[in-house]
Structure 1
């Protein structure tokens, strides 16, 4: 009975530890579907740049790649690089 309790405790601790690892991973933001509030959460992107991203997307269609975000006025390649791990094009 003691081995079962010990094993159960180990499984529980492992589950908790791996759960925290996955909880800290940021979810990718789809730049073709994100709203202004979501885009504003990115590093170096405030509300006005987020609005420019949405306006560019509406005028030119969806982004083909994350790097295309640099085509938006006020968004540079460095800003795209800083956020590359958090961006997605779906």
Structure 2
């Protein structure tokens, strides 16, 4: 049989064991979750603003193509212009002479007003120096901007 002292020691050990393994109280967990949540939100907001800051800069065309002098490969460097469409532009130019306006491109089969409007910033009727033409070729091969 256990003595009173042994019973007391057993009870104390039982209380110590419960104190050691007892989970944190619910309010403490709630505060930890709240602090972590606020920290995560502020970090995400800061990171998102910094990430999109550079992306929001407007993109400027890096080259222009003279549609009255452009070769097949220079025309293919334009977005939405493949080999067949570039060939039709050259054939139209050979038959009808130089384009007098960018809108004249709408006379080429496969080029409607919406496509011409999307290409307008990349097209010219006047002289284009060879550096810009070379850059158009460079970009057409999937390389990055040279400037």
For normalisation by structure 1, the TM-score amounts to: 0.70
Structure 2 unaligned residues grouped into runs of 5+: 1-59, 127-147
**Which one scores higher on RCO, CA 8 angstroms, separation ≥ 6?**
1
Structure 1 unaligned residues grouped into runs of 5+: 1-23
Query: Over alpha carbons, which structure has the higher Rg?
Result: 2
Q: Which runs of 4+ in 1 moved over 2 A?
A: none
Cα RMSD for the two superposed structures: 1.2
Are residue 48 (structure 1) and residue 84 (structure 2) matched? yes
* Aligned residue runs from structure 1 range 1-90, under 5 A: 25-90=61-126
Q: C-alpha distance in 2, partners of 1:87/1:25?
A: 10
Q: C-alpha distance in 2, partners of 1:53/1:40?
A: 11
Moved more, 75-84 or 45-54: 75-84
For normalisation by structure 2, the TM-score amounts to: 0.44
